[in-house]
Amino acid sequence: MPNTKNKSGTRCIALIGPYGSGKTLLLESIAAVTGAVTRKGSVNGGTSLGDFSAEARARQMSVELNILSTQYLGEDFTFLDCPGSIEFLADTLNVLPLVDAAVVVCEPEPAKVQMLQPFLKALSDAKIPHYLFVNKIDHAGGPLRDLLALLQDASETPLLLRQIPIWEDGVAKGFVDLALERAFVYRPHAPSEVADITDLIREKEARFQMLERLADYDEHLMEELLGDIEPGRDEVMNDLKRELADGLVVPVLIGSAEGDHGVRRLLKALRHEVPEVSAAAARGGIKTRSANPGAVVVQVIKTFHGGHGRLSLGRILSGTLKDGAVLHGPGGDTRVGGILALSGEKQIKKSEARAGDTVALARLDNVQTGDRLSSDKALAARAAPALSAPVYRLAIEASDRKDEVKITAAIAKLIEEDPSLVFEQNAATQDMVLAGQGEIHLKVAIEKLQSKYGLKLLTKPPRVPYRETIRKSASSRGRHKRQSGGHGQYGDVVLEIAPMPRGKGFAFHDRIKGGVVPKQWIGSVEKGVAEYMKSGPLGFPVVDVAVSLTDGSYHSVDSSDAAFQTAGRLAMSEGMPGCGPVLLEPVMKIAIHVPKDATAKVNGLIGTRRGAPLGFDGRDGWRGWDTVRAQMPLSEVSDLIVDLRSLTQGVGTFEMEFDHFAELNGKLADQVVATQRAA
Ligand SMILES: Nc1nc2c(ncn2[C@@H]2O[C@H](COP(=O)(O)OP(=O)(O)O)[C@@H](O)[C@H]2O)c(=O)[nH]1
Ligand SMILES: [Mg+2]
């Protein structure tokens, strides 16, 4: 059994869970309890250690990682408070593989359990040791039975109830720790007081259930339980530790970040039970000890741009990193230009960082989030950051024209910090588009562009790349003749314009007989026609049209490439309005992922957004979720995520791909054309 006490390397713990569950206040409570701050701040008062950015304070909502480096009973810890909103999930997903354990913070509200599932699933899937901390126990109205049942449904890994509340007049006044077999009575902002267990029957029953769960993975313990033998405390403690580390059980603890209740017990559990950094390294596929015992390995989990330039947040997976050291990275060699321990806004310079530490490294060149740096070239690697496809887009432009040149560079920096942002230029509409995980995600990004880079942007919904086509055929003549001074211009063509089936694009046929349009000008006519196709009678690119050149005439002196191009264009602009022009809109194939209780509502939503439902199935690998498939016009998808999130407590999401173009008629089409004309 490795000795986990006394300076066995800094543990890195993620606090994760839904928005509003109390993670940032729990971070504050941990800071207060461990003496990292002398005065406990509050989220509501805007004085917390975390959420110090203007964007976070304004919303009382975490919009990126908050970091606390602290010590408890001689052990070093780094806590990473991850933003809870699904819109900022990328930060969480990028740090999770590198932490030693996660504490999933939740509220004692059955109605909110659904919000936990994306987090619990990510942890179970990756077998990352994790606890559930039922926070706000001061607000729980009574027994947690319903809550725990729902939590168990939401978790693929079995829960292990480690603590039970002591109720008095419907208020939790303390708890019993079932492993220690000790009762604790809460005292406001002070360590809980050890007390006698008053309800022995309830305690015995709950403890037996806990032991049974542990015994599922320990035959010896199972035999003891069957033989009515009381297991030794060490055996129980060792099982708790091993089964947590192996991702077999999820211990459930309770408390209140507000009152600092249960926080010391949580810290003690972390101190005794969380595996060393080598376990996280092994999960990342690095067997440092055997391969190259002295090698320094650093995994970059986040990139910041701050007042002092660029900082790379890295976890030291093995070895000791000295300031000034040169590391090999996937982007080349890079020198460490400063090591900083972070705590909220505070940065403390260090001369070295040891295995287990999570520190900010200054001035690393060619390094991005997801990079693994090492003193051993063979261990350098790049992992693509965890990303989900964007679900919300905004067209942007600089509100001051002279700032336009700054946009690309500023956004590139922002994307380095937050790889879940996507910047794209829409080829069809020429819009500059910022895409991301939702309304707030993009709003925060745009505020940061202003506060950090002085870039003021205007935003609007991105334009839909409409097309147009025709419904009937027509023949049309285009005659271009100009006689002014010296050389004249002459070109004359007759075109047959005909619709083609959807998706066929553009075809040009030469049906000239007897050389009435000489060979060398045929290509010129086609060019003129193609030029016209960029914008048809309704103002949009024309598709699914075949044009045949059937007749025409030329002049031996005045005809030219330019004249025949003009004639071709002319014939099109005269003929097309008579061909029954019709608007085409892009229709997407969309897969919407939601908890089952929202499936019916989502089907309704599809209907109100001109969608065609294609049916639904259980979502692959997600218990209690459905995937609803549909076709939906792109114009209806633009703010779909907003409705979807409000139907699903924020957890619903979707993916889409282009499917086909479909005719758009009536009032909606008139509006589109009018808007295009006005532009
Ligand atoms: N009563 C009570 N309120 C809490 C507790 N923990 C957090 N809160 C409040 O819940 C709200 C959300 O807390 P916050 O830490 O920002 O949640 P986060 O989104 O998970 O970081 C704030 O108003 C906190 O003051 C608790 O244990 N008890
Ligand atoms: Mg928070």
Residue 137 CA: nearest ligand 1 atom is 27
66 Cβ inside 6 Å of ligand 1? no
* Span from the CA of 43 to the centroid of ligand 1 (angstroms): 7
Ligand closest to the CA atom of residue 50: 2
Structure confidence at residue 56 as a pLDDT band (50, 70, 90)? confident
Q: Tell how far CA 118 is from the center of its chain.
A: 11
Q: Residue 474: phi, psi to the nearest 5?
A: -160, 160
Rounded distance from Cα 422 to ligand 1 centre (Å): 31
Centre of ligand 2 to C-alpha 51, Å, is 7
Locate 132 and state its tokens. 């559930």
Greater confidence, 285 or 678? 678
As a whole number, the mean pLDDT across the chain is: 93
Q: Compute the average pLDDT of residues 314-318.
A: 95
Identity of the amino acid at 214: L
Closest ligand by atom to 42 CA: 1
If 0-12 CB within 10 Å is exposed, 13-18 middle and 19+ buried, where does residue 447 land?
middle
Query: pTM for the whole thing?
Result: 0.90
Atom in ligand 1 nearest the alpha carbon of residue 27: 15
Cα(263)–Cα(357) distance, integer angstroms: 22
Hunting for tokens 């004639």 — which residue is that? Answer: 567
372 lines ligand 1 (CB under 6 A): no
* The pair of three-digit structure tokens given for residue 119, joined into one six-digit string: 């987090």
Gap between the Cα atoms of 623 and 237, Å rounded? 31
Q: Which residue has the higher pLDDT, 546 or 389?
A: 546
How sure is the predictor about 91, in pLDDT bands with cuts at 50, 70 and 90? confident
**Any bridge partners for residue 491, and if so which?**
480
Q: Per-residue pLDDT for 309 more than 70?
A: yes
Beta carbons within 8 Å of 253's beta carbon, 6+ residues apart: 131, 132, 133, 134, 162, 163, 262, 265, 266, 269
What integer pLDDT is reported at residue 305 of this predicted model? 85
φ, ψ for residue 632 (rounded to 5)?
-150, 135
Counting ligands in written order, the one closest to the CA of 25 is 1
CB 67 within 8 A of CB 304: no
Check whether 475 has a pLDDT greater than 50: yes
Name, in order, each residue with C-beta under 8 angstroms of 346's C-beta and a sequence gap of 6 or more: none
In angstroms, what is the span from residue 116 Cα to ligand 1's centroid? Answer: 16
**pLDDT per position as a tens digit, 568-595:** 999 999 999 999 999 999 999 999 999 9
pLDDT band at residue 54 using 50, 70 and 90 as cut-offs:
confident
Is residue 338 within 8 Å of residue 362, measured between CB atoms?
yes
Q: Give helix then strand counts, H and E, for the chain.
A: 19, 35
With a pLDDT cut of 90, the percent of the chain lying above it is 82
Q: What is the pLDDT of residues 143-198, one digit of tens each?
A: 899 999 999 999 999 999 999 999 999 999 999 999 999 999 999 889 999 999 98
pLDDT tens per residue across span 108-148: 999 999 999 999 999 999 999 999 999 999 999 888 999 99
Give the β-pairing of 163-168 and 75-81. unpaired
Q: How far is the CA of 48 from the centre of ligand 2 (A)?
A: 10
Ligand 1 nearest-atom number relative to CA 256: 27
- Spacing, Cα 46 to ligand 1 middle (Å): 12
Pocket lining: 343 vs ligand 1, CB cutoff 6 Å: no
pLDDT higher than threshold 70 for residue 3: no
Please indicate whether residue 138, judged by its CB atom, sits closer than 6 Å to ligand 1.
Answer: yes
- Using an 8 Å Cβ cutoff, are 430 and 424 in contact? no
pLDDT for 16 beyond 80: yes
Q: Token pair for residue 45?
A: 């008062």
pLDDT category at 2 given cuts 50, 70, 90 is very low
Ligand 1 geometric centre to CA of 293 (Å): 43
Residue 438, sorted as left (phi over 0), alpha (psi -120 to 50) or beta, turns out to be left
Task: Give the DSSP letter string of 24-83.
Answer: HHHHHHHHHHTTSSSS---TTTT--SS--SHHHHHHTS--S-EEEEEEETTEEEEEEE--
Q: Does ligand 1 come within 6 angstroms of the Cβ of 23?
A: yes
Distance between CA atoms of residues 651 and 473, nearest Å: 50
- Ligand 1 neighbourhood includes 15 CB (under 6 angstroms): no
Q: Is residue 7 scored above 70 in pLDDT? A: no
**Nearest atom (ligand 1) to Cα of 81:** 21
Quote the tokens at residue 407: 């946009």
Spatial separation of the C-alpha atoms in residues 82 and 575, rounded to whole Å? 61
Q: Can you tell me the mean pLDDT for 535-552? A: 97
